[in-house]
Amino acid sequence: MEFLLEWSSWYKEGDTVWISYWYNGMITPVRIKNIRGRKYLVEHNVDSSRIKNAPDEIISSHQIISSSSPEAPFPGRSKKI
């Protein structure tokens, strides 16, 4: 039971995560604005995003590809020093 509680609180408001955008399949970073039950309201206005003007959208946790943090860069990208 402890594992389930820890897993459900893995992503917090303000975290940046990577998703596949529904329109063109592009992998893009988004910021979690709000948590609504088991879904996340995300915004695309992130520094490294190429679609900053995309509307906010609600996604499920299974749509998140990877979290974005300096300790865990996105696969295939080199970590900048």
Domain of 34, in residue numbers: 9-67
Cα dihedral 53→56→31→80 (10° resolution): -30
Do the bridges between strand 57-60 and strand 39-43 make them parallel or antiparallel, or are there none, so unpaired? antiparallel
* Tens place of pLDDT per residue across the chain (81 aa): 555 545 556 788 999 999 988 888 888 999 999 998 889 999 999 988 888 889 999 999 888 887 765 444 444 444 444
- Which helix (H) or strand (E) segment holds residue 4: the answer is helix 2-8
> Residues 71, 73, 77, 80: is their CA dihedral positive or negative?
negative
Q: How far apart are the first and last CA of the chain?
A: 39
What is this structure's pTM? 0.69
How many domains are there within the chain? 1
**Does residue 39 belong to any structural domain of this protein?**
yes
Q: Is residue 2 part of a domain?
A: no
DSSP 24: T
Residue 42: inside a domain:
yes
Residue 14 within a domain:
yes
The pLDDT assigned to 41 comes to 95
Q: Give the domain CATH number at 43.
A: 2.30.30.140
